[in-house]
Amino acid sequence: MITKAIEKDLNWCETLIQNNSSSFYRAFRKLPQEQAQAVFAIYAFCRIADDAIDVDNNPEMVKEMVVKLDAFKAGETPDEPMWRALRWAFDTFPLKIRPFQEMLIGQLQDVDFKQPESFNHLLDYCYLVAGTVGLMLCPLLAKPVTIETEKLSVELGIAMQLTNILRDVGTDYRLNRIYLPEDLMIALGVSPEDLAGPEPTPELIRLWEHIAAEAESRYNRITANLDVFDKNARLPVLLALLYYSKIIKRCRKARYRLLDRRIYVPKWEKLMLFITANRLLLLTSLWR
């Protein structure tokens, strides 16, 4: 049962996601109400941790979240809207604490940032900051949770993080962060200075497409296995991957001119993706 006090906290979380991630919100608000509200509580946790590093440059805040999460695990609930909403989510659904702990570890890695040495190191990072989010959400998307649903949920998070990295190559470079693997940059002849732009070099485009192929292969695997998720979760999952895979397509359409600007998916195209997702589910009988 949702009390008036908890409803206020859940609304606070919903407002946070509405203001910060329209794509994520559009996708997951299609879940049944309580599942959607639990998603919003989880998102609030992740957003607060992410902003502490990327916006406020305040690692102490994340370290404080680590302490509060340990207390939360022991049964204490910090007197803040996000934590109260998260407690409701844990009381209502079979959520696990471990991915929340791992996500904070990933956020703290950005404090003393080191460029990934290899693609496997990049995948490790993507798991910590985004694959863990897939694990957080998995109990809201599939009953029962299986090894397969956990694996696909992690893959979705990793693919979305790879997409973010591809979109933000120029922005991250100006923040003194290069997420592109060092060994691939050397092998394909890409120098750090190539990320300054504004025009991408042919070598950078080859590297970009190499990583894009990794993201798209994951989107394709998830699309082909949507039936492992609950019927009412298939549309949100499909919408999330369609929104993010469209970012990759938009970057290509812009001829990779993304080093000095942010590529985005316009609202009209998101509406078209919603129609497309519904049609795909109907054609594949996944609504049944």
132-160 residue pLDDT tens: 999 999 999 999 999 999 999 999 999 99
What residues contact residue 55 under an 8 Å CB cut-off, 6+ apart? none
Whether 154 and 134 have beta carbons less than 8 Å apart is answered as: yes
Three-state SS for 30? coil
Q: Is 224 exposed, middle or buried (0-12, 13-18, 19+ CB in 10 A)?
A: exposed
pLDDT of residue 180: 98
Name which of 208, 152, 148, 151 is nearest 178 in CA terms. 208
Q: Which of 90, 86, 15, 77 is nearest to 46 (CA)?
A: 86
pLDDT in the model for residue 125? 96
Rounded CA-CA distance 145/156 in Å is 15
Cα torsion through 32, 70, 49, 165, rounded to 10: -80
- Per-residue pLDDT reduced to its tens digit, 55-67: 888 999 999 999 9
Confidence of residue 16 (pLDDT cuts 50, 70, 90): very high
**Mean pLDDT across the chain, nearest whole number?**
93
What local confidence, expressed as pLDDT, does residue 286 receive? Answer: 55
pLDDT for 187-225, tens place per residue? 999 999 999 989 999 999 999 999 999 999 999 999 999
Q: How far apart are CA 203 and CA 201, in angstroms?
A: 5
What amino acid is encoded at 164 in this protein? N
What gap in Å lies between CA 285 and CA 288, rounded to an integer? 6
Closest CA to 208 of 262, 252, 245, 272: 252
Q: Write the pLDDT tens digit of every residue in 31-57.
A: 999 999 999 999 999 999 999 998 888
| Cβ contact 78:104 at 8 Å | no
CB neighbours of residue 242 within 10 Å: 21
pLDDT at 267: 87
Return the sign of the alpha-carbon dihedral for residues 105, 148, 17, 54: positive
State the residue for tokens 């519904």.
278
According to the model, what pLDDT value does residue 13 have? 95
Distance CA 140, CA 232 (A): 10
pTM of the model: 0.93
Q: What is the pLDDT of residue 287?
A: 47
What is the pLDDT, as a whole number, of residue 226? 94
Q: Which class for 17: exposed (0-12), middle (13-18), buried (19 or more C-beta within 10 A)?
A: buried
- Torsion 16-21-24-26 (CA) sign: positive
3 state SS of 144: coil
pLDDT band at 288 (very low <50, low <70, confident <90, very high): very low
Taking the C-alpha atoms of residue 219 and residue 248, their distance in angstroms, rounded to an integer, is: 11
What pLDDT does 271 receive? 87
pLDDT top residue among 22 and 161? 161
Work out the pLDDT band at 285, boundaries 50, 70, 90.
Answer: low
